[in-house]
Amino acid sequence: MKGRGIIALLCAGAFAAGAGGCASGQRRAPFGIATTSMAVCQILDRLNIDDVVGIPSAAEDIELPERYKDVRTIGGAMAPDMEILSQINPEVVIVPRTLEAGLSAQFVNAGLNARYFDLSDVEGMYDDIDALGEEYGRQAEAAALREEYEAYVEENRVQSDDPATVLVLMAYPGRFYLIVTADSYVGNLISLAGGVNVYDENYVSDGSGVAAVNTEHMIQTDPDKILVFAHYDEENAFKYMREEIETGEIWQSFRAVREGEVYWLSSDDGFGMSANLGWFESFDFLTDTVFSDGESGTDSGAE
C-alpha cells in the first residue's frame, strides 16, 4: 500500500506538472508597456514609468535609459517581432503614428492593443506626452516637460518683424529630391525657430510632409534661404545635392543660391525624420546658424 501510495503521488505530481506546462504555454495576462520607438523610451523614462516590458532592438542615436537596459527587445522599429510581443502580451504597444498604416493590421491579427504616438512634430509630441501623463498618473512630470519646451522656445526663438522664408529640400542618394512642407518634423522646427516655410502645411493634404514640385515653381517662391537634409545615406545624398546646386544652371536663378544662403541640416546636428526629446540641438542650429545675422551658411553642415 505504501509503495502504491508513493506511485500515485508521483503520478499526480507528473499530471500537475504536465498541466502546469500547458498553462505556461498559454498567453500570459496583459501587463506593462512595449514600444517600437527609442524616442518613446526616453519619454517614458522622463515620465518615471517603470512598467516597460518591450523595447526596440535596432540601434539608434538616442541613448537607451538605464532603467530599461534589461528589458526584452522586440525587434526593429519598422518590423517588430509579433511572436515576441505576443509572448510578452503588453497592455499596450506604443508605435509612432507614421507607421500606423504599415503595422496596424499586424497588431490586430496578433490581438495586440496598439497606441499611435505623434512624433511627426515637436508640438504633437508634447500633446501626446500630456495624454500619457494623464493616463499613467504622471501629470506633474508631463507638465514639467511641457514647461521646459515652451520656455525654451519662447526664450530662444528668433524674433523678427520680417522672418526669413525658407525652401526645405529632402535629398536622396538616388539622385532626386522632394520639397519638405511645414507639416513635418523639420518644418515644425523651422516654424518654432522663427522661420517661414514657403510651402506651408496646406500645400499637401496627405500628411506626409513632402511633395514633388518642379523647379520653376520653386523659383517663384523666392526663398531667403534653402535648407537641405537627407532621409538616409546622408553623405551621398548631400554630395548629389551639392553638385546639383553648384552645377545646375537653373539653381543660379535662386536668390538664396546666389547669395550663399544654402544650409545643410546634418544628423550631426540632430536632424532626422521624427521628433524626440533631443530636438533642442536641431533648434539651436537653426536659431544660431540659419536664422542668425552672422556669416553665410553656404559652408555649414556636412561636406
**DSSP string covering 150-181, please?**
HHHHHHHSPP-SSPPEEEEEEEETTTEEEEE-
Cβ 168 vs Cβ 190: under 8 Å? yes
- Is position 79 within any domain? yes
Whether residue 38 is found in the same domain as residue 120: yes
Verify that 196 and 282 share a domain, yes or no.
yes
Residues 139 and 179 in one domain: no
Main-chain dihedrals φ then ψ at residue 210, nearest 5 degrees: -135, 160
Domain for residue 45, yes or no?
yes
Domain termination residue (choose one: 154, 171, 193): 154
User: What's the confidence (pLDDT) of residue 96?
Assistant: 93
- Does the pTM surpass 0.75? The reply is yes
Residue 299: Cβ within 10 Å count:
11
Cα–Cα dist 33/56, whole Å: 12
pLDDT tens, the chain, 303 aa long = 444 444 344 344 443 333 333 344 567 899 999 999 999 999 999 999 999 999 998 665 677 899 999 999 999 888 999 999 999 999 999 999 989 989 999 999 999 999 999 999 999 999 999 999 999 999 999 999 999 999 999 999 999 889 999 999 999 987 788 989 888 899 999 999 999 999 876 676 566 778 888 888 899 999 999 999 998 889 999 999 999 999 888 999 999 999 999 999 998 998 988 999 999 999 999 999 999 863 334 444 444
Which of 113, 129, 154 is a domain's end point? 154
Is 123 within the bounds of a domain?
yes
Domain residues for the domain of 129 are 33-154
20 belongs to a structural domain: no
Q: What cell does 281 get? A: 540641438
Q: Looking at the structure, do residues 171 and 144 belong to the same domain, yes or no?
A: no
The answer to whether position 12 is within a domain reads no
| Residue length of the chain | 303
The C-alpha cell at 142 is: 508631463
Written as nine digits, the cell of 171 is 535629398
Q: How far is CA 265 from each of CA 33, 37, 57, 198, rounded to the nearest angstrom?
A: 34, 22, 27, 17
Q: Which three cell numbers stand for residue 181?
A: 512642407
Q: In this structure, are 191 and 259 located in the same domain?
A: yes
Q: What is the CATH number of the domain that holds 56?
A: 3.40.50.1980
Based on the domain organization, do 53 and 129 belong to the same domain? yes
Task: Classify residue 10: in a domain, yes or no.
Answer: no
Residues 198 and 78 in one domain: no
Same domain, 138 and 95: yes
- Is residue 188 located within the same domain as residue 278? yes
- Tell whether 15 is covered by a domain: no
Domain count of the chain? 2
CB count in 10 Å sphere of residue 229: 26
Q: In sequence order, which residues have a C-beta less than 8 Å from that of residue 15 and are 6 or more positions away?
A: none
Last residue of a domain, one of 121, 154, 187: 154
94 and 135 share a domain? yes
Q: What is the pLDDT of residue 273?
A: 85
In a shared domain, residues 170 and 147: no
Q: Would residue 19 count as lying in a domain?
A: no
Q: Does 168 share its domain with 235?
A: yes
